[in-house]
Chain A
Amino acid sequence: MIAILDYGSGNLRSAQRAFELSGHETLVTSDPKICISSDGLVVPGVGAFGACMDQLLAAGGDLIIQERIAAAKPILGICVGMQILFDSGSEKGGSSGLGVFSGDVSQIEAPILPHIGWNTVEADPESRLFHGIGEERFYFVHSFAAKRAVDGAHNSWCNYGEDFVAAVERGPVSAVQFHPEKSGAVGARLIANWVGTL
């Protein structure tokens, strides 16, 4: 079973449906027991880094994520759900993240922001998420991103104004800056790849 962590950060219904299509039972929930014991946990995220962190902490999401990492149980962070896994985010004055990955999430240097639209990803050849996916476009909506490669991880890159980390995979933790649940057929393939690791 896949749990989608509900901590008050919108856009959960379509995510749920997208993961259901992979053939797994999928539940949108904030129940810690279910979130910890599920085969896979999806951490979505819409909104500002700090607001998301506040809501995540209020829902006990930090403990859920720590327990799962300790037990090597798979997690997939999406968009701000990826960003909060880093040490810190500089959006709206700066906030602390969970520190699963070291590094800061900072504003992209590009003439037009947010970065909204379909962009290509240069996947790490060893990536499990991008297995069998070629030069395809994924849907991005964000202004902030991690710019430095995460140590000991498979880093996949996107360029918009500058290079940033589009996806990172290390041990049980995977995270994507784009929205696979909104990236049509290619997004469904990426979700299926992640579900295949559960």
Chain B
Amino acid sequence: MRSRDLGFRLVIGVFAAALLLIVTAIGFELARQSWLSIQKFGFEFWRTSTWDPVAGEFGALPFIWGTLYSSILALVIATPVALGIAVFVSELCPPVLRSPLIFLTELLAAIPSIVYGLWGIFVLVPFVRLLETWTPEALRALPLFSGPPLGVGMLAAGLVLAVMVVPFTSAVAREVLKTVPTTQREAAYALGATRFEAIRAAMFYARTGIVGAIMLGFGRALGETMAVTMVIGNNPQVSLSLFAPQYTMSAVIANEFTEATDELYLSALVEIGLVLFIITLLVNGLSRALIWTMARRVPSKVTA
């Protein structure tokens, strides 16, 4: 019986090992293919902002700038909304509404990103263009709002990313709030707290997990490709302006990979992919660590 159990464990263990194998293989393969570019350009690659493959110039700064800018913008817009939803569904809403609301937010998460992109191009971008044309002259002078009102650009990208991030952050925040012991809120109420103050006490208790939820949303935004590339304008420039068309790491790979005519070009693109891989690895890892820490916290044991 023992040996058969061992055999069983070995066989299924091999399948499980496939997961480990795949993850390491991805890392290796990316590193291998980007080696040419890494060797040729070194760190300058990430500090140069001219991306002109035809002329042989490969500067990837615009992409990391665009990725970070769009993702942070999405986070700024999405986080309050996501937390508001999480609080509403777990603390404030009538029980009968709870299930339907959760289902609807899950639906938001399930919509394919290409559909977001399609809606982005044909509905959101014209709307953003309208917003941009209406921006008063006084604001236009600021670098944040400078440039022609094209519609496509950082603002549109930030908005569509925000919509995509909300369901993820909200779902995790909701789960995290569920783990806050009721006695924490009761303690606050018993001291004469208003609804807001009691919920604030609960959110303080859950702060680690909530930060984890926010980071998860950040990770999601970093990796998003299709919706972003369809609304961001795909212009490799570093610009502070929300109105300016820019470019992200995932977007440039999506657009130019099949057009990469020589090995160096391809290698440069893969290097961008490698760095994207590493960044999302770190962000997601951190997020999971935070959420796990929160889940592990046992309410203090009452010792004798």
A and B co-occur in one complex: no
